[in-house]
Structure 1
């Protein structure tokens, strides 16, 4: 499956103004829960997983986070793409003692193990494209972000 199969324009947020991870996760959870994509436990479990297995990445000049949780809390698969008005600190995936200020958050709601590996590989490849990440970070259009993700 391609990234496009998991995208829903309602889950692409531009310039979201959140003060911390809790507010960010709450906002994204409410959207997914109201549409029946996730269980009630999703919010708690995404926070727990982020605490245990941080998802902050520092690649080139951009910091990205890819939070996700266990498949049993996801009813319908999705990817939520969020650019933030103000960066939010996330612990680094490879060094929990350090934090990075993240401006792009890609929340994964996946419930099929083979899809998770495939999606992560595609995302890592995309994130390593500095020009594309720069365009996503500065985009003002849902349509443009969708296009950048699927090209």
Structure 2
């Protein structure tokens, strides 16, 4: 089930965005066009991010995992993105601190997707010393997609 959430049509490699708002505009627009989210998703994800920031201080680069409540999701997904250049994103649990984020994993769950378990699998991988350098080194969307699908714990 977890691997099925990683959508090839949502993989974005080396996007250029100026800030979090522009990222949300571009990614949410794509999610809406492809039928993954409702038209309420953009406002919901921005509001949730304001209250509960999602950047993680992973090393050597921070990662953000924005998500919203289930009522805004049509089809569950993981949309992995590597930005061309980092943007500011407030840190989870320390919203006074802004991290520079280049990797964003936007998540959409519908309730029965085992999202708590999936988040733990992702966090475990993000803490692996080799994982982020591997994300940095991929050259193509397909390689990025396959690397995300090969995360430890995503086997089923």
TM range (shorter): over 0.9
Higher mean Cα deviation, 124-133 or 29-38? 124-133
Higher mean Cα deviation, 139-148 or 51-60? 139-148
Do the aligned partners of 2:11 and 2:141 also contact (CA within 8 Å) in 1?
A: yes
Counterparts of residues 2-151 of structure 1 (less than 5 Å) = 2=2, 4-112=3-111, 115-151=114-150
Do the aligned partners of 2:76 and 2:113 also contact (CA within 8 Å) in 1?
A: no
Per-residue CA deviation, residues 92-134 of structure 1 (Å, 9 max, x unaligned), is: 1021110100010000011115521121011101111121211
Q: Which residue of 1 aligns with 2:154?
A: none
TM-score, length basis structure 1? 0.94
TM-score, length basis structure 2? 0.91
Alpha-carbon distance in structure 2 between the residues aligned to 1:150 and 1:114: 16
Q: Which runs of 4+ in 1 moved over 6 A?
A: none
Q: Give the superposition deviation at 1:31.
A: 0.8
Alpha-carbon distance in structure 2 between the residues aligned to 1:60 and 1:17: 22
Higher mean Cα deviation, 18-27 or 106-115? 106-115
SS across alignment from 1:85? strand
Per-residue CA deviation, residues 74-95 of structure 1 (Å, 9 max, x unaligned), is: 0100110000011011111021
Alpha-carbon distance in structure 1 between the residues aligned to 2:99 and 2:70: 26
Kindly report the root-mean-square deviation, in angstroms, between the aligned alpha carbons of the 2 structures: 1.2
Alpha-carbon distance in structure 1 between the residues aligned to 2:35 and 2:146: 25
Number of aligned residues: 150
Q: Give the superposition deviation at 1:11.
A: 0.5
Do the aligned partners of 1:132 and 1:148 also contact (CA within 8 Å) in 2?
A: no
SS across alignment from 2:56? strand
